[in-house]
Amino acid sequence: MDTTNSWLLSRVGARLLVACAGGAIGWWVGDGIGRPISLSFGLAIASVATLAIFDTLKGHQLLDWLRTPDVSPPRLPGIWGEVAHRVHRVIRLREERIQQERARLGQFLSAIEASPVGVLLLDAGDHITWISPAGADHFGLDPQRDLQQRVTNLIRQPAFVQYLQAGDYRDPVKCLMPRGGQGYLSIQVRVYGEGLKLLLSQDITERERADNMRRDFVANVSHEIRTPLTVLNGFIETLGSLPLTEVEQKRVIGLMAQQADRMRSLVSDLLTLAQIEGSPRPSSDKWIKVADLMGRIETDGLALSRGRHPMSFLIDAQGKSMQIAGIEGEWLSAMGNLVSNAIRYTPEGKRIDIKWTSLSEGGVEFSVIDGGIGIPAEHIPRLTERFYRVDGSRSRDTGGTGLGLSIVKHVVQRHGGDLRITSEPGKGSTFTLTVPSARVRLL
């Protein structure tokens, strides 16, 4: 028997003892000193009744408290005090446990709410019983108002309705974002409990865009390679089947060399892009003299133009003693691309000016200004897309692959700078490349 039980028994025993003592006094008073027995019996009853009244009062006090146990328990003597204390302790422990469970549930819900995955809980009849914020956002639902609605009344995409009704939830289903959104959602259902469903949604717009870009890229590369290959094939057949004079043969071989060269430059541009994309951000501790860079750009530019354009190469006073940080080959390729474009898209005799300007906030700008054919405004935002050409036939005629400006953009972004393009059709274009101040220093 534990100490609590023995203590309780002793308290009960004490009460019985008091009652018996009351009875004994009554008996003694009645018999011992010759008073009538009915008085002693009356006294015994009176003492028992007093005890009963006291206990009833204390019991009522306890009961009153139990009806509203959120205040502290009454201070009661004896067994009632012990009962009040124990009940209070049990209630407190239970409340603490409920608080802990509530806190855990709160954390769990916050974690779901922080997740980019949308969650909807459905009952066995596909009525919505809970909506996470991401779920509400994905499907355009109201987390309060739309509860208890059948999910297919609110998400009506045929692909989703079919998926839900088919009951085969092994793979997710791809749907257009509701509310006329442009994106895509991947939706997957998991069944749990007795026919309850967990509906998970994920925004896969970016993944879809990347997939489309990859498909377009492969299609573009294949197309770009197939064209010169077809031409080459034609020439090879001509050479094999027709008796050509020496002059004709020379011309055909010259044209074949042109196509082979086009394929070579396409592959080399693709390799450059792949290499730039796959390598880490250039460090800022390799310094290149601006004057040296400009010297090489000038040599290449003059060789490419072969005197067909009046050209100027200018470095401002500060630029002459300046260095920029990064990968020399990449900077050269980006700047060289801008100069070669200017030469390619500027008619003979029109000016091309190349200059370095130091900026007041510490950076530096490299600009190529030509008086060439210019670019209509609607094409400008797309110029840096791979294979994008304003006039495909003109670009191909001049050996362009349409990859040049996407290489320039990548190089500049990797070095923390940016590329600005302004142009007016028929008047000319200005391509400006900025080098951020963190990558510029004076010698």
Among 30, 282, 301, 404, binds ligand ATP (CB under 6 A): 404
Tell me the C-alpha to C-alpha distance, in Å, between residue 92 and each of 71, 74, 105, 255.
11, 15, 20, 93
CA 149 to CA 165: how far, in whole Å?
A: 16
Task: Indicate whether 301 belongs to the interface with Mg ion (CB under 5 A).
Answer: no
Rounded CA separation 378/421 (Å): 12
Q: Which is nearer to Mg ion, 341 or 346 (CB)?
A: 341
Number of H helices and E strands in the chain, helices first, is 12, 13
Tokens 């302790």 map to which residue?
89
Does residue number 311 form part of the binding site for ligand ATP (CB under 6 A)? no
Q: Show contacts with ligand ATP in window 261-280 (CB under 6 A).
A: 269
Restricted to residues 290-309, the positions that interact with ligand ATP (CB under 6 A) are none
CB of 386 to Mg ion, least distance (A): 12
* Long-range pairs for 141-150: beta carbons < 8 A, 24 or more residues apart: 150/125, 150/126
The answer to whether residue 346 forms part of the interface with Mg ion (CB under 5 A) is: no
Smaller CB distance to Mg ion: residue 157 or 429?
429
Window 229-268: contact mask with ligand ATP (x via CB under 6 A): ----------------------------------------
> For Mg ion, which residue has the nearest CB?
404
Strand partners for 423:
429
Q: In terms of C-beta density within 10 A (0-12 exposed, 13-18 middle, 19 or more buried), how is residue 313 classed?
A: middle
Q: Which CB, 404 or 417, lies closer to Mg ion?
A: 404
Q: How far is the CB of 213 from ligand ATP (least distance, A)?
A: 16
Of the two residues 232 and 373, which places its CB atom closer to ligand ATP in the complex?
373
Subset of residues 402 to 431 that bind Mg ion, contact rule: CB under 5 A: 404
372 binds Mg ion (CB under 5 A): no
Shortest distance in whole angstroms from residue 392 CB to ligand ATP: 7
Please, what is the minimum distance in Å from the beta carbon of residue 369 to Mg ion?
16
275-294 positions binding Mg ion, by CB under 5 A: none
Query: Rounded to an integer, what distance in angstroms lies between the CA atom of residue 4 and that of residue 83?
Result: 11
**Cα separation of 311 and 368, whole Å?**
10
Cα–Cα dist 386/408, whole Å = 11
Stretch near Mg ion under the rule CB under 5 A, chosen from 89-97, 131-139, 341-349, 419-427: 341-349
Residue identified by tokens 């003299």 is: 289
> 65 or 387: whose CB is closer to ligand ATP?
387
**Integer CA distances (angstroms), 193 to 122, 124, 185, 233, in order:** 11, 9, 26, 66
Contact between 369 and ligand ATP (CB under 6 A)?
no
> How many C-beta neighbours within 10 Å does residue 69 have?
15
Interaction partner, residue 390 (ligand ATP, Mg ion, none; CB < 5-8 Å by kind)? ligand ATP
Contacts of 155 (CB under 8 A, 6+ apart): 139, 161, 178
Footprint on residues 319-358 left by ligand ATP (CB under 6 A): 337, 341-342, 345
Strand partners, 358: 364
The answer to whether 395 contacts ligand ATP (rule: CB under 6 A) is: yes
Number of residues that bind ligand ATP (CB under 6 A): 22
* 383 contributes a contact to ligand ATP by CB under 6 A: yes
CB of 186 closer than 8 Å to CB of 206 = no
Binding of ligand ATP at residue 429 (CB under 6 A)?
yes
Q: Which residues bind ligand ATP (CB under 6 A)?
A: 269, 337, 341-342, 345, 370, 372-373, 375, 383, 388-391, 395, 400-405, 429
